Structure 1
Amino acid sequence: MQYVGSFYFYGENAKVAACFVNKAKNIKKSARSQAFTLTDKVEKPLDLISHLPFRLAVVSNLLALDRDWKIRNLTDLEPREMRVLLNIGSYMPIKSADIAYQSRLDSYTVSRAVKKLLALGLIESRQDEVKKNVKNLYLNEQGKALYQKLIKAMDERASLLEEVLTDNEKSLFFDMLERIENKTEAILASQASALMEAGLEAPADQKELIRWHKKTNSK
C-alpha cells in the first residue's frame, strides 16, 4: 500500500498514481491559464486553475451533450432529456427515482424530462409486474433508434478523449472519480442534515441528497 496525494493505492495502481502526481507537478500551464493572472483587488483570490471542483465543472461544461455539434445535430432534445433517455436505454426497465440516483439529476428534473420524452413518443411507461404502484420506463422503437445514434457519437468522442490516457491511467482515473463523487455526496448530505437539525426546512433536492447518501452507504 502506498499513500499518493490524498489517497491510498495498492500495487500497480500505486505506481500509476505516483506517475499521475508527477505529471501534475510538471504540467505546463495552458494558454488560457497563462492569459489570466490572479487579481490584487481582493484579499487571497481563489486560483481557479488549481481548484479541483472548478476544473471538474469546466470539463463538464465542455462535455455537455449540447456543446457537441455532432450530437446536437442528431436531436432537438435538451441535455437533461438526452441524459434521461440514455439512462433508460442503458438500464431499462428503470424507475425515475433510480435514474435520478444514477445520474445525480434531481427528481424534478428527471420528471420533466420523462414527461417530454413520453410526449415525443420516445419512451413508454409500464406498470411493474411485482410492485403494482411502480412504473418502469422503457425505450420504444423510435427511442431505441435515437439511442443507438447518440451512443455511437458518444463512443467516438470517448475514444478520442481516452487517447490521452493509458489503460492503467484510465482505470485509476475512474477510481478517483468515484472517490470524488462519493466524497462530494457525503459533504452535501452532511451539510443538508446539519441545516435540518438547526431547524431549517430542507428543499426536496437536499432531502434527496441525504437519501442518496444513505443508499450509497447501505451497499
Structure 2
Amino acid sequence: MTKSARSQAFTLTDKVDNPLDLISHLPFRLAVVSNLLALDRDWKIRNLTELEPREMRVLLNIGSYMPIKSADIAYQSRLDSYTVSRAVKKLLALNLIESRQDESKKNVKNLYLNDEGKALYQKLTQAMDERANVLEGVLTDSEKSLFFNMLERVENKAEAILATQAAELIDNGLEAPADQKELIRWHKKTNSQ
C-alpha cells in the first residue's frame, strides 16, 4: 500500500505516548469519507434546496421507501428518532411531505412525498446519482460489490458494539438515553431478520 499525501504530510507526534495513527484508524477514516460525502458539502446538491442534511436524508428515505413510518426511517438511516421527528416536522411545515394514517394500524402514521416533495426528490437523486457514478468509477463492479459487503459487515459490527455497550450499562443500573435504547432495538431487529 502506498503512502497517501496526508500520511506523508502528517507525522505522528512524540509529545504523547502511543499516539493514535488516524490515517490507519478505520472508524476515523470512515468518518472522514462521510464528512466529504455529506449532502451539504456538495455544492450542486446544496444549491437545489435550503434543507439541512437531516431533512434531505429524511426526504430521500420517504421518497425511496414510501409509505414509511418515522421509526423505520430512523432504523434504515441510523438517525435517532428525535432527529427524524424534527426533520419530519420541518418537511411537513414546508409542505414537501404528507402524513397519513395507516390503513391497518390506526395509531400509525405513514409518510409520503407530495407533488412538490417528489419534484425535489427527483432533483436531489439525479444530482446524487451523478456524483455516485463519478465516485464509483474508481471501483470495478467486483470491487464495488465487495466494498458494499465490507461496509455492511462494518455497519453491523459497529451496531453490535454500541448495542452491547448500551445493554451492559443498563444492566449496571444506568438509565439509558433514548438513542441508546434505539441502538439496542435496532440491533435486535437486525438480528431477528
Give the TM-score taking structure 1 as reference length: 0.88
Aligned-pair CA distance for 1:34? 1.1
Aligned-pair CA distance for 1:29? 1.9
After superposing on structure 2, the runs of 4+ consecutive aligned residues of structure 1 that deviate more than 6 Å are none
Residue 148 (1) aligns with residue 122 (2): yes
Residue 131 (1) aligns with residue 105 (2): yes
Stretches of structure 1 lacking an aligned partner (at least 5 in a row): 1-25
Q: What residue number does 2:72 align with?
A: 98
Residue 114 (1) aligns with residue 83 (2): no
Identity %, equivalent residues: 87
Match 2:175 to one of 197, 201, 208: 201
How far apart, in 1, do the equivalents of 2:27 and 2:6 lie? 18
Residue 46 (1) aligns with residue 27 (2): no
Q: What residue number does 1:84 align with?
A: 58
Aligned-pair CA distance for 1:186? 0.3
For 1:117, the aligned partner's letter is L
Backbone CA RMSD of aligned residues: 0.5
For 2:64, the aligned partner's letter is S
How far apart, in 1, do the equivalents of 2:18 and 2:149 lie? 32
**Structure exhibiting the larger radius of gyration computed from Cα positions:** 1
| Equivalent residues, number | 193
Residue 173 (1) aligns with residue 144 (2): no
Q: What residue number does 2:138 align with?
A: 164
Give the TM-score taking structure 2 as reference length: 0.99
Q: What residue number does 1:35 align with?
A: 9
